[in-house]
Structure 1
């Protein structure tokens, strides 16, 4: 299949004169995405504890779901019969689906990798599943997300140069098979750059992936156990090598410092489970810091989390009420903290975007100061 960019355009609207940071606009069939942009994770066709209406109110533009998990349950055939993932989950905005490649990394105890793909036993019913690049694309074509990811091998940290080089080679070959298997021109297939912490392997991976002239590119294989300074170095070295006229996506990263450093290197999109996972543990993300709402100091506080935050939670509820809900393990508490935490990260990326457009962004810029 010949891919077309007719429905997928990326426009750079502003750049930082001191860094590689850029403010862009990525158009998809289900709407535009102002970048830099954080993507909440909805692994199983839902962002945990939130309705689509609540999610939209956080300012979310695009969300991520997972091919591997949706294949296991409920199955892509059911979702396709429902009219695709957008209709199935009631989300009208853009969706990105991960390929299942990260499970090659995370399921290391129950899987085997060869040139054909990955074989593993389903954790749900024990059946043997042969996950190949072709199957990953077939599932994603059925799901109908706007952006789909190529099937890749994500090597762990630490890994030897020989192991990482094998993963880069396999990822390149799998990408070519993904391109051949792709059947829908209304879905943008992104390639993934692997290479571990080795600059030459990263450079080689960029060259090989970019030869296929895809609608967008991702930096994978970070936040897999490596020291944070290694992650920053990889992103600084890799992002500027990717085409300037296509969106750049850093996979699995969603903390303040890591997003800020990545934006300074020229990254546009991020995803992470942090905001909802933190919420389920009572952790609040606010103004560059994180703290636990269950702490005794909040039990009698009638203040909101942040009086300047426009989210539903901060407009209506006190810290004392949220402390009570989380201590009592009430589901509403998880919902309200998730609303705030996602809103916080959306505001953070929006503030970076505005700073770039106004010529005020630099790597050590702090939106909360």
Structure 2
């Protein structure tokens, strides 16, 4: 028994030592980049004393805002970081109930959608505390389309979300069975799961059409406007916020070259190619490439026609290079994962293709949680 207690005490001491180090690194970073925060030593003493007493500490609103923005700045898989300072931080750390989380997700979508002028936004909900697990959202994004496995084989809807759809159905949800049914939020609080419908009035969707091909509208394709990621933890100075949905705006190729084009997603390239009358008998005709370009033109055209914020991969690649140069001028490492930074369409025609990057992990950060 004594050895078990000793081992537990050593483990707890190691954890306190780790959070002490992470907290100190973050507080020093915050004060170094924000001189108006004042002397760093008094704040460090306050933070370390709180950790010694409770096992964790509470960020000030300014620290939370800075930490969330720097987590975006450090996101090596995101090409759209030029505007990291513009991230709007909604501090909702007092919210720890399922209904409260659902309500804040709805308000997040309302605020971020902004009538189509998408605003980069994060909503930070209750943090993890010793012995007090925080809420979490099972959905990968606040808006996800259901995927129904058909008895005869295949999937109606988005094949990426068949498992989440099955969980929602086990919990009592019944969708309409269309290709674009919006899934309810599955929220976990203290081990219990609850379903929460996303009200239609906060879901902005764009029906897709093409500037030259009138038949494209007959395909019945659409996509939602706000890519609000909800299954990543925000890590700031040793404090974890498992429930912190955040969004920027879409780059067109995310929808046109991945969500609608991938074989294991909506797989629309054969459909588009057939309507275009392309020769699909062999790969050398490059029919996939032609269909892919037209699909992406339709996405960009439709969002622009509806006044919904979206960027194209050429513009965003140029913005990323500007961000990279700015970070280097400021003496900071700009982490980047080449395989994510290079767009999935015409990558070699963009400036981000032709160089290597520092693929390192910096904190604060957004981290993937284990699959629920």
TM-score (norm 2): 0.26
Larger radius of gyration: 2
Higher strand share: 1
More helix by share: 2
